[in-house]
Amino acid sequence: MAGEGVKLLGYWGSPFALRVRSALKLKGIEYEYQEEDLGNKSPLLLQSNPVYKKIPVLLHNGKSISESLVILEYIDEVWKHNPLLPEDPYERARSRFWAKFVDEKCVPALVGTISKVGEELEKGVREAREHLKTLESGLDGKRCFGGTKIGFADVAIGWIAYLARIEQEALKIQLIDQQSMPVLAAWIDYVLEDPVMKELMPPHDKVFKHMIGMREKLIAVVSN
């Protein structure tokens, strides 16, 4: 489907940009993708998201939309086919609630843990696991947050879960395990097996190396 002048400013390893890419892909919207150098942001990025100066930014018909969850809502409203949000208002509220929960609780805990060592690391892992366990309750026996097919909350949370799995490997910690979070673990497997998610998935080894590099850099900053 023609995207009528759709352009996305993103970064390969950003789960927030990947949310938008999967939403566009699920809808079959063609778009131009511009990879940003986060150390040297393009004038277009600085100008189109003056408040946060962050990716992702969706440009559509000369207008710019920022904040990944706001962009997902926009995409779902402009291109109504293959809806991302469920039809029922209560289920829509549940999807929004859990996507927001992940951004407000899980993401800070997971990101904060990357730079931690020793007891602080253990504490960070405990906190992240508590939030992930709460997140699991949001599935409420369903296959996906959106019910039976991948939607708004699944693409919003799925990329965070993909990175959390690599984080636990890189830091040799346990964040999500089959035994204590069987429903969440099964959901991650299901979402990451989706053809749209698979196609967009940044390579495991590249993410792993990037995370180790980020950890080393952050630990050096903290110890200086």
| Burial (CB count within 10 angstroms: exposed 0-12, middle 13-18, buried 19+), residue 195 | exposed
Among 20, 24, 48, 67, binds its own copies (CB under 8 A): 67
Q: Nearer to its own copies by C-beta: 92 or 165?
A: 92
Interatomic CA distance for residues 114 and 124, integer angstroms:
9
Q: Which residues between 117 and 156 bind its own copies (CB under 8 A)?
A: 134, 137
Q: How far, in Å, CA of 27 to CA of 76, rounded? A: 9
User: Least distance from C-beta 89 to its own copies, angstroms?
Assistant: 4
Among 7, 96, 142, 210, binds its own copies (CB under 8 A): 96
Q: What is the amino acid identity at position 22?
A: S
Contacts of 59 (CB under 8 A, 6+ apart): 5, 6, 7, 8, 9, 44, 48
Mapping DSSP to helix (H, G, I), strand (E, B) and coil, where does residue 2 land? coil
Nearer residue to its own copies within complex by CB, 14 or 66: 66
Angle made by CA atoms 40, 42, 48, in degrees to the nearest 5: 130
Among 43, 51, 52, 48, residue whose Cα is nearest residue 8: 48
Least gap, CB of 70 to its own copies (angstroms): 5
Tokens matching residue 2 = 């023609």
71 near its own copies (CB under 8 A): yes
Site mask for its own copies (CB under 8 A), range 36-65, x = bound: --------------xx--------x--x-x
Is 1 near its own copies (CB under 8 A)? no
By CB under 8 A, residue 90 contacts its own copies:
yes
184 binds its own copies (CB under 8 A): no
Nearer to its own copies, 71 or 155 (CB): 71
**Which residues form the interface with its own copies (CB under 8 A)?**
50-51, 60, 63, 65-67, 69-71, 73-74, 77-78, 89-90, 92-93, 96-97, 100-101, 134, 137
